[in-house]
Structure 1
């Protein structure tokens, strides 16, 4: 189980860096900022698909949905931002 959590953190950490770069890019589209805000709102919201009071299972939805949402946003980025991110090593 810890191996999966470590792998998931590695994936999210890299994606979070790419997302942060894309948000600061001058050509960042408005939908990217809105989508990132919605992800943050979901994380901070007391309302979840699966309540956090359920042991272990309550946290799993955050560990699955948030990385998927971040990855989906990154896959929608314009080519210009992706190119600039690759050039900067992110």
Structure 2
């Protein structure tokens, strides 16, 4: 279980960094900024698909939905922005 969480964290951290670099790119599309703001709002909002007060399941939806949303945004980036963000990500 701990190995899976470590792997998930490394993927999310890498994707989040790539998303950050894509947001800062001069050619970043407006929908990327809106999508990222919606992801942040979802994380900070007390309203969830599954309430956080439910043991395990409440946090699990955040651990699944947020990385999927980030990956979904990254896959829709224009090629030049995606390439530049991937290069900066390291």
Q: TM-score range by the shorter chain?
A: over 0.9
TM-score, normalised to structure 1's length? 0.94
Measured on the aligned residues, the alpha-carbon RMSD in Å equals 1.1
User: Which protein has greater RCO, CA pairs closer than 8 Å, 6+ apart?
Assistant: 2
Match of 1:33 in 2: 33
Superposition deviation, residue 85 in structure 1: 2.5
Structure 1 residues 87 and 56, CA gap change in structure 2 (3 angstroms):
closer
Q: Is the 8 A contact 2:19 2:70 kept in 1?
A: yes
> 78-87 or 4-13, which moves further after superposition?
78-87
Residues 10-62 of structure 1: CA deviation (Å, up to 9, x unaligned) = 10000011000000000000000000000000000001111111111100000
Matched residue pairs, number? 90
TM-score, normalised to structure 2's length? 0.94
Match of 1:79 in 2: 79
Unaligned runs of 5+ in 1: none
Structure 1: which 4+ aligned runs deviate by more than 4 Å?
A: none
Match of 1:22 in 2: 22
